[in-house]
Amino acid sequence: MKIGIGADHNGYELKETLKKFIEESTDHEVVDFGAHSGDAVDYPGVSFNVAEAISEKKIERGVLICGTGLGVAIAANKYPGIRAATAHDTYSAERAQLSNNAQIIAMGAQVIGPESAKKVVEAYLNVAWSGGSQRKVDQITDRESQFLDQNFKDAAKSSC
C-alpha cells in the first residue's frame, strides 16, 4: 500500500520519525509530501496535496501531522470525498478506519510522543475497512454530494 505522509514545520520531526518507522517496519511504500525541513510551512497546502493524491488514487492512505493534528485534519476534510480523523490513541486510530473508512489519520506533534505515535500509525495501518458503519459513511457522502451539487448549480446561475 502507498502511504502519503505530510506535515507542517511543527510536525516535521515526528513526520521524519514516522516515515522511517513505516518504511522499516512495514511493506508499505511512503510518499513524502513535506515539509522537508523545519522551515515554516503552512499545513493547508500539505493537507490538500495528500488529500488530492488520495482522491486521484496515487496513494491509498495518509498520515498528516501538525502541532495539534486538528488543523491538518480540518484542511484535509475540505477536500471532497476525504475523511480525515485526528487520533492520539490506538483505539481511535483503528475506529477511524473500521467505522469511518478514514483515508487519513492526523496527529499533533505537540500532543503525542514518537513512540505512542508509532503505535497509533501501526494500529491505523493494520486494519482495513470492511463495510463497518457503511450506512453512516453513506450519509456523510450523500450530504457532501448534495452540498457540492447545490453549490455547482448556484455557481452556474450566477455566471449567466
**Which residues does the annotation mark as catalytic?**
66
DSSP string of the chain?
-EEEEEE-GGGHHHHHHHHHHHHHHSS-EEEE-S--SSS---HHHHHHHHHHHHHTTS-SEEEEEESSSHHHHHHHHTSTT--EEE-SSHHHHHHHHHTT--SEEEEETTTS-HHHHHHHHHHHHT---SSTTHHHHHHHHHHHHHHHHHHHHHHHHHT-
